């Protein structure tokens, strides 16, 4: 089974809302919500990968704060090692360059969305804080 290491950003605004990204129909797991982020490249640290991925996907800069958790999830053809971090926007306004949609969602409403399975443990942590 192929394995990948990925990072995800739990980006909160001043109202404690979280930026959620809807996977586009052309992506794997289409129409599932996720925390934005992506694959860690060889030799890259997790925070650095997250900063790069957010610049590429959302065209903005983030500050990576504390690590929330790490999750290993087995999808049908791939094992994902996901490392999630609490982040905030440093500069810019997020733009959906790859995703179908971006939405700021209040913590208490996050569970109303249909999430990619690997993101669910992070959801439980941030909604129970």
Distance CA 34, CA 19 (A): 9
Query: Which pLDDT value is given to residue 89?
Result: 98
Look at residues 37, 32, 59 and name the one whose alpha carbon lies nearest to residue 47: 37
Say which CATH topology domain 2-127 has: Nucleoside Triphosphate Pyrophosphohydrolase (3.90.79)
User: Which phi and psi (to 5°) does residue 74 adopt?
Assistant: -95, 110
Query: Which pLDDT value is given to residue 29?
Result: 86
Residue 121 structure tokens? 């443990």
User: Which phi and psi (to 5°) does residue 121 adopt?
Assistant: -60, -40
pTM of model > 0.85: yes
Query: Which pLDDT value is given to residue 66?
Result: 97
The sign of the dihedral angle between the CA atoms of 55, 60, 61, 63 is negative
Query: Which pLDDT value is given to residue 111?
Result: 95
**Domain locations in the chain?**
2-127
Query: Which pLDDT value is given to residue 105?
Result: 98
Annotate 93-117 with DSSP letters as a single string.
----SSSSEEEEE-GGGGGGS-B-G
For the chain, 129 residues long, the average pLDDT of each consecutive 10-residue run is 96 96 91 97 97 97 98 95 98 96 97 97 94
């Amino acid at each position: 089974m192929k394995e990948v290491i990925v990072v995800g950003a739990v980006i909160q605004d001043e109202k404690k809302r979280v930026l959620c990204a809807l996977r586009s129909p052309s992506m794997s797991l289409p129409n599932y919500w996720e925390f934005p982020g992506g694959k860690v490249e060889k030799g890259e640290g997790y925070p650095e990968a997250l900063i790069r991925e957010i610049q590429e996907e959302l065209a903005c800069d983030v500050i990576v704060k504390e690590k929330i958790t790490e999750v290993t999830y087995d999808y049908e053809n791939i094992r994902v090692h996901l490392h999630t971090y609490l982040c905030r926007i440093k500069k810019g306004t997020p733009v959906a360059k790859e995703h179908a949609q971006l939405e700021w969602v209040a913590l208490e409403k996050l569970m109303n969305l249909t999430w990619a399975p690997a993101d669910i443990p992070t959801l439980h942590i941030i909604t129970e804080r």
